Structure 1
């Protein structure tokens, strides 16, 4: 082979390689573009409520990947900051999400962000809390019934002490969360006329704030006059329990979410009841709707009712049913239901309480 021929072969090989690499690059670009076209984002409101990071996020992510192998998933948490969540919506838009699942830190304040996302062609699914604005679907529990369960558990625990003159302290959730108003309404429906709501404040879903509010209630009403405390969730119940214990008060105390610490408090008697909202059905149904939306398919088989948001939008919805959990229910509902194992609950400080409740 002479020099001219060798040069031609080298040039031909180089051109061929360049074309091959270019072709590979274009294929990769198309693949990436396709992936971005099937990206689902998730925004959760805070890290204080144990369920969000422990259950909701991993369950939604796993179900999305199960239903859509080539869908991308991206996630942010607002850490209790509504303005931060608004910025995260902007970030999701920049990332090219096609469906955005939002558990709003401030359901009213996020309205403009929802509208902005929809204007960019993004479908928004309201998760657990009904965000205002043009959302495509909503998945949650029947929140007024949750409040009713809490109120009923408190009355049942009070027994004969439940009289129209009995002083109850009521610590509600954050007013920025529409669920808080629904829990409150359901609880009032059961409690009003049966007991006296002598002190009622928002605990903002924070244990520290709830602790401060109950401490103020004890000072105002007198500890011996308080016969029970309604707490809208378990995080706040933790702070309330500490305040009650510090004041030497032992009265019925409600909660919600079946947090591990709450289940342990229930076994020791520091908390009376919680409300268990199984995270898996809520997470899985939401993931199913999101995948249907990203694929341009109808999701009407998942939603079976319609709700109206604070912005007046009619939203297809699925509302699940929660259950009340007392000490007698921990084994059947919590352990056998697969929320926590006996080993997770019955750590060193709770071994005897577990034995007393028949949990081994």
Structure 2
């Protein structure tokens, strides 16, 4: 369960040659080339803190270190705004566009338009089905789901729950990642259902990863089950926190194991408090650095070889890909997220969480 965090050096084939400090004007006699300009569209700031607190920060730092101009904007889960931002970026002269799609339809429209304008593209974190991106950079998302499924099994076993009723609160049905997560955790849970060891309870998607809707959906699940839910596979920390808020109303927090993903500050504090059983840590700096390296190379006219490919079933093509390794986080290894620099001790160990941090060995 305690997998090592994959270092970016281990990506191997990406680093075919060191990237020189780029972005400076250069060229032959009497001519110059403009600095490369890279555009990035993030999806929202409500579904997970990571997009603004981690991805933006790490991408900006990577582009600045390379001397490359960049524009990073957030579509705030608005499909029309997503397309408007893309159009504006292309008008402003971006030569490479990196997107986190809101859904494959919107993403494909943007990627296709970019292609007609000679702008090279990268799918960041989410694969655009039927799209045309040069690369896909993400985590092994089915592995994320497997860690969640294994985590819920571990937590239910630790509590000694016999034949537990398990509810599944999936992410957005229009997000290919949410489907991959579900494939992963269902590969762990379905054999338990089939063997009659677990009882399959309510199983619902949450439109747009909306945490408010997730709370409403879970409250309805509880009513439907007359309060008999013994474990919750929540697809990320935001959904997990929505579940925990309903469990608290029913004085069941800490008694019903809840999973998560993203190792958000809130998720880690919920784990320290005993209200969430686990999360999945994705070393976002490594993801951002890998994507930035590829984007910078494309902007310089280089095409790097990716270490693997991912099948796009709708586009019927193998997309060159970088897939990083996720890590399961429980109370006993929350300290690993702090040690990796993703969350600071000062942020995590405030007030009521100070004693729990000490107990968990956070330093």
**TM-score range relative to shorter protein:** 0.7 to 0.9
Residue 319 of structure 2 is aligned to residue 321 of structure 1: no
Give the match for residue 109 of structure 2: 112
Give the match for residue 42 of structure 1: 40
Residue 334 of structure 2 is aligned to residue 330 of structure 1: yes
Give the match for residue 23 of structure 1: none
CA–CA separation in structure 1 for the residues paired with 2:345 and 2:316: 45
Structure 1 window deviating more from structure 2 (152-161 vs 256-265): it is 152-161
> In the TM superposition, what is the alpha-carbon distance from 1:108 to its structure 2 partner?
2.9
- Asked if 2 retains the 8 angstrom alpha-carbon contact of 1:207 and 1:240, the reply is no
| 3-state DSSP of counterpart to 2:155 | helix
Give the match for residue 21 of structure 1: none
Give the match for residue 53 of structure 2: 54
> In the TM superposition, what is the alpha-carbon distance from 1:162 to its structure 2 partner?
5.8
Give the match for residue 281 of structure 1: 286
1:155-179 Cα offsets, whole Å, 9 max, x none, are: 000017565x421110000111100
Structure 1 window deviating more from structure 2 (349-358 vs 232-241): it is 349-358
Pick closer, same or farther for the CA change 1:280–1:93 going to 2, 3 Å: same
- Asked if 2 retains the 8 angstrom alpha-carbon contact of 1:155 and 1:162, the reply is no
Name the structure where helix makes up a greater proportion of residues. 1
1:32-91 Cα offsets, whole Å, 9 max, x none, are: x813xx110000101111001111011112112212x2x211121110122221221111
Higher RCO, 1 vs 2 (CA within 8 Å, ≥6 residues apart): 2
Unaligned runs of 5+ in 1: 1-29
CA–CA separation in structure 2 for the residues paired with 1:95 and 1:197: 51
- Asked if 2 retains the 8 angstrom alpha-carbon contact of 1:139 and 1:286, the reply is yes
- Higher Rg of the two aligned structures: 1
Give the match for residue 88 of structure 2: 91
| 3-state DSSP of counterpart to 1:340 | coil
- Asked if 2 retains the 8 angstrom alpha-carbon contact of 1:108 and 1:176, the reply is no
1:120-269 paired onto structure 2 within 5 Å: 120-132=117-129, 133-159=131-157, 161=160, 165-194=163-192, 195-204=198-207, 205-223=209-227, 225-249=228-252, 250-269=255-274
Unaligned runs of 5+ in 2: 1-30, 193-197
CA–CA separation in structure 2 for the residues paired with 1:107 and 1:58: 25
- Asked if 2 retains the 8 angstrom alpha-carbon contact of 1:41 and 1:92, the reply is yes
| CA RMSD between the two structures | 1.6
CA–CA separation in structure 2 for the residues paired with 1:252 and 1:84: 38
| 3-state DSSP of counterpart to 2:104 | coil
| 3-state DSSP of counterpart to 1:226 | coil
- Aligned length, in residue pairs: 321
Pick closer, same or farther for the CA change 1:102–1:336 going to 2, 3 Å: same
Residue 82 of structure 2 is aligned to residue 77 of structure 1: no
CA–CA separation in structure 1 for the residues paired with 2:137 and 2:161: 35
1:117-171 Cα offsets, whole Å, 9 max, x none, are: 11100000000000131110010000001000000000000017565x4211100
- Asked if 1 retains the 8 angstrom alpha-carbon contact of 2:99 and 2:107, the reply is no
